């Protein structure tokens, strides 16, 4: 079994190459929708005393003949301690024998595959004439979302808001090194763009319904655990709602609170992103539609990304035979 750390993964696949991951993520969503994969809902351990949780996320792909399990935490207060909010490890197994092939750092994989999923949603659900991006929340995931989304088409303007202005300044410096310019704006200004990306850990709605114009596409990324929500439920009532997975979204996605309160029902959900990728359902059908992608993060995304990186690792190191220890 190989142990592949984050530094090694970043060497073989720096963030600037994120566009090359989009097809892999597209295949992950498509294969899941076509029943070529197994993915039980993620399991949670809640650490209420410490305002955090631990998640266990298994998946198996018939197409890859590989399985993978991710263990990942989410602790919003970690940055105050000099730690990342999200940290993870992934084990991938050969499905033919069960042999563990690699233990991989999953922190970078989690970030980059989530960004790629958001870009994929924007590809299918943003209106064709979309030229502006608004981002609410300037943490690490905002970086991945922006880097991936600009790979699907040319955007003229990116406005970012965060309650911490220093977080926006930090993001601005990082993106400037990649040749990407962003502007600091208010939450209302960010919400008024063609594509809105929310990446906060909020447990109360922060995006007001009156800020959202017809034709807007929203990638709701931040709500990934029970009780979290970023959008005014009235937005969901106006929107075509697309989930990554119904079971996960209903108990831990953007829709979880409105669903638990009866504000929206299962019949109000248009479908999954995988169904759109697999052409079971059309994506955006009008430039006036408001579309929302409820992203909870799928183990199948982790598996396909880990498999992709494992392939690159083998290629770089000219590995022909598995080594077991």
- Dihedral sign of CA atoms 190, 111, 10, 21 in order: negative
Whole-prediction pTM value?
0.94
Using DSSP's 3-state secondary structure scheme, residue 254 falls into coil
- Using alpha carbons, list the distances in angstroms from residue 171 to 13, 19, 54, 137: 20, 19, 27, 10
| Amino acid 320: pLDDT | 64
Q: How do the pLDDT tens digits run along the chain, 325 residues long?
A: 899 999 999 999 999 999 999 999 999 999 999 999 999 988 999 999 999 999 999 999 999 999 999 999 999 899 889 999 999 999 999 999 999 999 999 999 999 999 999 999 999 999 999 999 999 999 999 999 999 999 999 999 999 999 999 999 999 999 999 999 999 999 999 999 999 999 999 999 999 999 999 999 999 999 988 999 999 999 999 999 999 999 999 999 999 999 999 999 999 999 999 999 999 999 999 999 999 999 999 999 999 999 999 999 999 988 765 444 3
- Angle of helix 299-317 relative to helix 22-33, nearest 10 degrees, comes to 130
Residue 128 catalytic?
no
Choose the catalytic residue: 10, 23, 70, 267: 70
């Amino acid at each position: 079994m190989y142990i592949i750390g984050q530094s090694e993964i970043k060497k073989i696949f720096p963030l600037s190459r994120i566009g090359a991951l989009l097809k892999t993520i597209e295949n992950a969503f498509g294969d899941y929708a076509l029943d070529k994969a197994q993915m039980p809902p993620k399991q949670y351990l809640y650490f209420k005393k410490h305002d955090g949780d631990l998640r266990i996320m298994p998946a198996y792909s018939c197409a890859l003949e590989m399985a993978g399990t991710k263990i990942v935490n989410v602790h919003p207060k970690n940055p105050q301690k000099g730690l990342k909010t999200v940290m993870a490890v992934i084990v991938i197994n050969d499905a033919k024998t069960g042999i563990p092939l690699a233990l991989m750092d999953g922190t970078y994989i989690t970030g980059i595959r989530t960004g790629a999923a958001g870009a994929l949603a924007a590809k299918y659900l943003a209106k064709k004439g979309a030229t502006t991006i608004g981002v609410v929340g300037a943490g690490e995931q905002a970086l991945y979302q922006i880097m991936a989304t600009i790979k699907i088409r040319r955007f003229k303007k990116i406005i970012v808001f965060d309650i911490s202005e220093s977080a926006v300044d930090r993001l601005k410096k990082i993106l400037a090194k990649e040749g990407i310019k962003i502007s600091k704006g208010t939450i209302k200004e960010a919400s008024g763009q063609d594509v809105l990306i929310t990446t906060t850990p909020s447990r109360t709605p922060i995006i007001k319904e009156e800020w959202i114009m017809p034709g807007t596409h929203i990638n709701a990324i931040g709500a990934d655990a029970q009780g979290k929500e970023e959008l005014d439920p009235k937005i969901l009532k106006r929107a075509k709602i697309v989930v990554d997975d119904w079971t996960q979204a209903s108990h831990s996605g953007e829709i979880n609170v409105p669903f638990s309160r009866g504000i929206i029902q299962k019949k109000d959900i248009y479908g999954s992103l995988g169904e759109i990728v697999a052409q079971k359902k059309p994506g955006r059908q009008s430039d006036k539609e408001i579309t929302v992608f409820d992203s909870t993060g799928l183990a199948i995304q982790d598996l396909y990304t880990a498999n992709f990186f494992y392939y690159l690792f083998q290629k770089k190191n000219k590995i022909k035979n598995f080594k077991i220890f």
